[in-house]
Amino acid sequence: MTRLRAYYSADYAPPVSPLFSRLAVLADALRDCKGIELCAPRQVDPRLLYGLHDETYIDHFLRGEEPLASSQYIAWSPLVRDAVLAMLGGQLEAAQHALTHGVAMNLARGFHHALWDRGSGFCAINGLALVAHRLPDKRIFVVDCDEHGGNGTEEFTHRLPNLYTASIFGTRFGCVGSARSWIYPINVTRDGFGPYAQALEDVAAQITRCAPDLILYQAGVDCHENDPKGRAGLSTQQLFERDRFVFRMARRLGIPILFVVAGGYQDASILAQLNGNTARAALEVFG
Protein backbone atom coordinates (compact mmCIF):
# COMPACT_ATOMS: atom_id res chain seq x y z
CA MET A 1 0.00 0.00 0.00
CA THR A 2 1.32 3.43 -0.88
CA ARG A 3 -1.24 5.51 0.95
CA LEU A 4 -4.38 4.55 2.84
CA ARG A 5 -7.37 5.65 0.79
CA ALA A 6 -10.19 7.19 2.82
CA TYR A 7 -13.49 7.98 1.09
CA TYR A 8 -15.17 11.26 2.02
CA SER A 9 -16.97 14.20 0.43
CA ALA A 10 -18.45 17.37 1.89
CA ASP A 11 -21.88 15.84 1.25
CA TYR A 12 -21.20 13.43 4.15
CA ALA A 13 -21.18 16.25 6.70
CA PRO A 14 -24.11 18.70 6.32
CA PRO A 15 -24.58 21.06 9.28
CA VAL A 16 -27.93 19.52 10.19
CA SER A 17 -26.77 17.19 12.98
CA PRO A 18 -23.55 16.68 14.98
CA LEU A 19 -23.76 13.04 13.86
CA PHE A 20 -22.93 14.20 10.34
CA SER A 21 -20.96 17.42 10.85
CA ARG A 22 -18.37 15.74 13.10
CA LEU A 23 -17.14 13.84 10.04
CA ALA A 24 -15.85 17.12 8.56
CA VAL A 25 -13.62 17.60 11.62
CA LEU A 26 -12.22 14.11 11.10
CA ALA A 27 -11.67 14.74 7.39
CA ASP A 28 -9.77 17.96 8.17
CA ALA A 29 -7.54 16.05 10.60
CA LEU A 30 -6.83 13.25 8.12
CA ARG A 31 -6.19 15.66 5.26
CA ASP A 32 -2.96 16.69 7.01
CA CYS A 33 -1.79 13.08 7.45
CA LYS A 34 0.73 12.21 4.75
CA GLY A 35 -0.10 8.50 4.81
CA ILE A 36 -3.74 9.10 3.91
CA GLU A 37 -5.34 9.98 0.59
CA LEU A 38 -8.88 11.42 0.76
CA CYS A 39 -11.03 10.43 -2.19
CA ALA A 40 -14.48 11.86 -2.99
CA PRO A 41 -16.99 9.20 -4.09
CA ARG A 42 -20.15 9.60 -6.13
CA GLN A 43 -23.53 9.24 -4.48
CA VAL A 44 -24.90 5.73 -4.68
CA ASP A 45 -27.49 5.24 -7.43
CA PRO A 46 -30.73 5.09 -5.37
CA ARG A 47 -32.03 2.31 -7.64
CA LEU A 48 -29.42 0.01 -6.08
CA LEU A 49 -31.19 0.26 -2.72
CA TYR A 50 -34.33 -1.48 -3.96
CA GLY A 51 -34.02 -5.17 -3.34
CA LEU A 52 -31.94 -4.54 -0.21
CA HIS A 53 -34.63 -2.74 1.81
CA ASP A 54 -38.42 -2.79 1.56
CA GLU A 55 -39.53 -0.92 -1.56
CA THR A 56 -42.07 1.21 0.31
CA TYR A 57 -39.47 2.27 2.86
CA ILE A 58 -36.96 3.29 0.17
CA ASP A 59 -39.67 5.24 -1.69
CA HIS A 60 -40.60 7.13 1.49
CA PHE A 61 -36.99 7.80 2.50
CA LEU A 62 -36.04 9.13 -0.91
CA ARG A 63 -39.11 11.39 -1.13
CA GLY A 64 -39.18 12.50 2.51
CA GLU A 65 -42.58 10.99 3.31
CA GLU A 66 -43.19 10.65 7.02
CA PRO A 67 -43.15 8.86 9.36
CA LEU A 68 -40.81 6.43 7.59
CA ALA A 69 -38.47 9.13 6.21
CA SER A 70 -37.32 10.05 9.75
CA SER A 71 -37.63 6.57 11.26
CA GLN A 72 -33.87 6.58 11.97
CA TYR A 73 -34.61 9.39 14.55
CA ILE A 74 -32.87 12.13 12.55
CA ALA A 75 -35.31 14.66 11.09
CA TRP A 76 -35.41 14.06 7.33
CA SER A 77 -34.31 16.77 4.91
CA PRO A 78 -32.81 16.60 1.41
CA LEU A 79 -29.39 17.22 3.00
CA VAL A 80 -29.82 14.23 5.34
CA ARG A 81 -30.92 12.01 2.42
CA ASP A 82 -28.01 13.15 0.26
CA ALA A 83 -25.52 12.61 3.11
CA VAL A 84 -26.71 9.02 3.47
CA LEU A 85 -26.54 8.44 -0.29
CA ALA A 86 -23.04 9.94 -0.43
CA MET A 87 -21.78 7.71 2.39
CA LEU A 88 -23.30 4.64 0.74
CA GLY A 89 -21.60 5.56 -2.54
CA GLY A 90 -18.35 5.78 -0.61
CA GLN A 91 -19.06 2.41 0.97
CA LEU A 92 -19.35 0.63 -2.38
CA GLU A 93 -16.32 2.37 -3.89
CA ALA A 94 -14.29 1.66 -0.74
CA ALA A 95 -15.31 -2.01 -0.84
CA GLN A 96 -14.03 -2.29 -4.40
CA HIS A 97 -10.81 -0.50 -3.46
CA ALA A 98 -10.27 -2.83 -0.50
CA LEU A 99 -10.84 -5.90 -2.68
CA THR A 100 -8.14 -4.66 -5.07
CA HIS A 101 -5.65 -3.11 -2.64
CA GLY A 102 -6.29 -4.94 0.65
CA VAL A 103 -7.55 -2.07 2.79
CA ALA A 104 -9.74 1.04 2.56
CA MET A 105 -11.49 3.47 4.89
CA ASN A 106 -14.89 5.14 4.57
CA LEU A 107 -15.40 8.19 6.81
CA ALA A 108 -18.96 7.09 7.38
CA ARG A 109 -21.12 5.36 9.86
CA GLY A 110 -21.87 1.73 9.00
CA PHE A 111 -25.59 2.25 9.60
CA HIS A 112 -25.72 -1.11 11.35
CA HIS A 113 -29.07 -0.50 13.07
CA ALA A 114 -31.04 0.07 9.85
CA LEU A 115 -33.69 -2.63 9.46
CA TRP A 116 -35.23 -4.04 6.30
CA ASP A 117 -38.42 -1.98 6.47
CA ARG A 118 -37.36 1.14 8.40
CA GLY A 119 -34.51 3.12 9.88
CA SER A 120 -33.37 2.75 13.50
CA GLY A 121 -30.81 4.25 15.87
CA PHE A 122 -29.61 7.09 13.57
CA CYS A 123 -29.19 4.59 10.71
CA ALA A 124 -31.35 4.93 7.57
CA ILE A 125 -29.94 2.41 5.07
CA ASN A 126 -27.75 -0.50 6.16
CA GLY A 127 -24.38 0.24 4.57
CA LEU A 128 -22.87 -3.07 5.69
CA ALA A 129 -25.67 -5.23 4.28
CA LEU A 130 -25.53 -3.10 1.11
CA VAL A 131 -22.04 -4.40 0.35
CA ALA A 132 -23.22 -8.00 0.71
CA HIS A 133 -26.26 -7.25 -1.44
CA ARG A 134 -24.15 -5.71 -4.22
CA LEU A 135 -21.49 -8.47 -4.10
CA PRO A 136 -23.61 -11.64 -3.95
CA ASP A 137 -20.73 -13.85 -5.08
CA LYS A 138 -18.50 -12.69 -2.20
CA ARG A 139 -18.67 -13.73 1.45
CA ILE A 140 -18.86 -10.61 3.59
CA PHE A 141 -17.95 -10.79 7.30
CA VAL A 142 -18.81 -7.81 9.50
CA VAL A 143 -16.68 -7.29 12.62
CA ASP A 144 -18.81 -4.89 14.66
CA CYS A 145 -17.00 -3.34 17.63
CA ASP A 146 -19.36 -0.42 18.14
CA GLU A 147 -20.77 0.20 21.64
CA HIS A 148 -24.12 -0.99 20.28
CA GLY A 149 -24.89 -4.39 18.84
CA GLY A 150 -25.54 -4.47 15.09
CA ASN A 151 -29.18 -5.55 15.24
CA GLY A 152 -29.96 -4.41 11.70
CA THR A 153 -27.05 -6.31 10.22
CA GLU A 154 -28.10 -9.38 12.22
CA GLU A 155 -31.60 -9.11 10.72
CA PHE A 156 -30.11 -8.91 7.22
CA THR A 157 -28.18 -12.19 7.75
CA HIS A 158 -31.60 -13.87 7.44
CA ARG A 159 -32.04 -12.33 3.96
CA LEU A 160 -28.50 -12.36 2.56
CA PRO A 161 -26.84 -15.82 2.56
CA ASN A 162 -23.38 -14.32 1.97
CA LEU A 163 -23.52 -12.03 5.05
CA TYR A 164 -21.90 -12.94 8.40
CA THR A 165 -21.58 -10.71 11.44
CA ALA A 166 -19.96 -10.73 14.87
CA SER A 167 -20.77 -7.99 17.41
CA ILE A 168 -18.71 -7.20 20.50
CA PHE A 169 -20.83 -4.68 22.40
CA GLY A 170 -21.56 -2.97 25.71
CA THR A 171 -25.20 -2.33 24.75
CA ARG A 172 -27.16 -5.16 23.14
CA PHE A 173 -29.56 -2.98 21.07
CA GLY A 174 -31.75 -5.97 20.28
CA CYS A 175 -28.95 -8.30 19.14
CA VAL A 176 -29.75 -11.89 20.04
CA GLY A 177 -27.39 -13.89 17.81
CA SER A 178 -28.32 -16.31 15.02
CA ALA A 179 -26.77 -18.91 12.73
CA ARG A 180 -24.54 -16.28 11.07
CA SER A 181 -24.50 -13.66 13.84
CA TRP A 182 -22.18 -14.14 16.80
CA ILE A 183 -22.56 -11.87 19.83
CA TYR A 184 -20.25 -10.94 22.71
CA PRO A 185 -21.66 -8.73 25.51
CA ILE A 186 -18.69 -7.01 27.22
CA ASN A 187 -18.04 -4.72 30.20
CA VAL A 188 -14.36 -3.75 30.31
CA THR A 189 -14.86 -1.35 33.23
CA ARG A 190 -16.03 -4.23 35.42
CA ASP A 191 -14.13 -7.20 33.97
CA GLY A 192 -10.94 -5.74 32.50
CA PHE A 193 -9.75 -6.09 28.90
CA GLY A 194 -9.20 -9.88 29.07
CA PRO A 195 -12.76 -10.89 28.01
CA TYR A 196 -12.67 -8.30 25.20
CA ALA A 197 -9.37 -9.71 23.92
CA GLN A 198 -10.84 -13.23 24.14
CA ALA A 199 -13.90 -12.12 22.14
CA LEU A 200 -11.58 -10.75 19.45
CA GLU A 201 -9.77 -14.13 19.37
CA ASP A 202 -13.11 -15.92 19.03
CA VAL A 203 -14.12 -13.65 16.15
CA ALA A 204 -10.78 -14.34 14.47
CA ALA A 205 -11.48 -18.09 14.77
CA GLN A 206 -14.95 -17.63 13.21
CA ILE A 207 -13.42 -15.65 10.36
CA THR A 208 -10.78 -18.33 9.80
CA ARG A 209 -13.54 -20.96 9.56
CA CYS A 210 -15.73 -18.81 7.32
CA ALA A 211 -12.90 -17.65 4.99
CA PRO A 212 -14.72 -14.53 3.78
CA ASP A 213 -13.69 -12.52 0.72
CA LEU A 214 -14.00 -9.18 2.56
CA ILE A 215 -14.12 -7.99 6.17
CA LEU A 216 -16.17 -4.90 7.02
CA TYR A 217 -14.91 -3.42 10.29
CA GLN A 218 -17.36 -1.25 12.21
CA ALA A 219 -14.77 0.57 14.35
CA GLY A 220 -17.13 2.47 16.65
CA VAL A 221 -15.62 4.66 19.35
CA ASP A 222 -18.80 5.11 21.42
CA CYS A 223 -17.52 2.22 23.57
CA HIS A 224 -14.83 4.64 24.85
CA GLU A 225 -14.78 5.15 28.63
CA ASN A 226 -15.72 8.86 28.36
CA ASP A 227 -18.50 8.49 25.79
CA PRO A 228 -21.95 9.48 27.10
CA LYS A 229 -23.46 6.36 25.49
CA GLY A 230 -20.54 4.06 26.32
CA ARG A 231 -20.95 1.14 28.71
CA ALA A 232 -18.17 -1.13 27.44
CA GLY A 233 -15.60 1.30 28.88
CA LEU A 234 -12.50 0.93 26.68
CA SER A 235 -9.62 3.34 27.21
CA THR A 236 -8.01 5.18 24.29
CA GLN A 237 -5.11 2.68 24.35
CA GLN A 238 -7.46 -0.31 24.47
CA LEU A 239 -9.35 1.02 21.44
CA PHE A 240 -6.04 1.26 19.58
CA GLU A 241 -5.13 -2.31 20.59
CA ARG A 242 -8.57 -3.48 19.41
CA ASP A 243 -8.08 -1.80 16.04
CA ARG A 244 -4.56 -3.14 15.63
CA PHE A 245 -5.72 -6.67 16.47
CA VAL A 246 -8.41 -6.54 13.77
CA PHE A 247 -6.05 -5.16 11.12
CA ARG A 248 -3.29 -7.65 11.99
CA MET A 249 -5.80 -10.51 11.79
CA ALA A 250 -6.97 -9.37 8.34
CA ARG A 251 -3.39 -9.08 7.13
CA ARG A 252 -2.37 -12.44 8.61
CA LEU A 253 -5.33 -14.18 6.97
CA GLY A 254 -4.88 -12.31 3.69
CA ILE A 255 -8.46 -11.01 3.72
CA PRO A 256 -9.20 -7.48 2.41
CA ILE A 257 -10.72 -5.11 4.96
CA LEU A 258 -12.87 -1.98 4.70
CA PHE A 259 -13.35 0.01 7.90
CA VAL A 260 -15.83 2.71 8.85
CA VAL A 261 -15.81 5.10 11.81
CA ALA A 262 -19.30 4.16 13.11
CA GLY A 263 -20.62 5.60 16.41
CA GLY A 264 -19.21 8.22 18.77
CA TYR A 265 -20.92 10.90 20.86
CA GLN A 266 -18.14 12.95 22.45
CA ASP A 267 -16.94 16.32 21.20
CA ALA A 268 -16.06 16.24 17.48
CA SER A 269 -12.38 17.02 18.12
CA ILE A 270 -12.07 14.09 20.54
CA LEU A 271 -13.84 11.78 18.10
CA ALA A 272 -11.48 12.90 15.34
CA GLN A 273 -8.54 11.86 17.51
CA LEU A 274 -10.07 8.47 18.32
CA ASN A 275 -11.04 7.78 14.69
CA GLY A 276 -7.62 9.05 13.64
CA ASN A 277 -6.08 6.44 15.94
CA THR A 278 -7.99 3.74 14.01
CA ALA A 279 -6.50 5.06 10.76
CA ARG A 280 -3.05 5.10 12.40
CA ALA A 281 -3.47 1.47 13.47
CA ALA A 282 -4.28 0.60 9.83
CA LEU A 283 -1.22 2.50 8.63
CA GLU A 284 0.98 0.71 11.18
CA VAL A 285 -0.20 -2.70 9.97
CA PHE A 286 -0.57 -2.05 6.23
CA GLY A 287 1.74 0.87 5.64
Instruction: Please choose, from the candidates 236, 224, 242, the residue with its C-alpha nearest in 3D space to the C-alpha of residue 170.
Output: 224
The residue range among 21-29, 81-89, 261-269, 272-280 that interacts with Zn ion, by the rule CB under 5 A, is 261-269
Residues between 212 and 231 with contacts to Zn ion, criterion CB under 5 A? 222
Q: Does 144 bind Zn ion (CB under 5 A)?
A: no
Q: Pairing state of beta strands 103-106 and 4-7? A: parallel
Q: Does 89 bind Zn ion (CB under 5 A)?
A: no
Cβ burial of 75 (10 Å; 0-12, 13-18, 19+) is exposed
Q: Which is nearer to Zn ion, 71 or 218 (CB)?
A: 218
Q: Which is nearer to Zn ion, 11 or 147 (CB)?
A: 147
Query: Angle formed by the axes of helices 78-101 and 127-134, to 10°?
Result: 50
| Cα angle 88-166-120, degrees, rounded to a multiple of 5 | 50
Instruction: Please choose, from the candidates 272, 277, 278, the residue with its C-alpha nearest in 3D space to the C-alpha of residue 21.
Output: 272
Q: Does 133 bind Zn ion (CB under 5 A)?
A: no
Q: Which is nearer to Zn ion, 169 or 247 (CB)?
A: 169
The residue range among 48-56, 161-169, 207-215, 260-268 that interacts with Zn ion, by the rule CB under 5 A, is 260-268
Contact 22, 271 (CB under 8 A): yes
Find the shortest distance in angstroms from Cβ 154 to Zn ion: 14
Contact pick of 147, 154, 155, 243 for Zn ion (by CB under 5 A): 147
The residue range among 19-27, 37-45, 144-152, 244-252 that interacts with Zn ion, by the rule CB under 5 A, is 144-152
Q: Site residues (CB under 5 A) for Zn ion?
A: 146-148, 222, 263
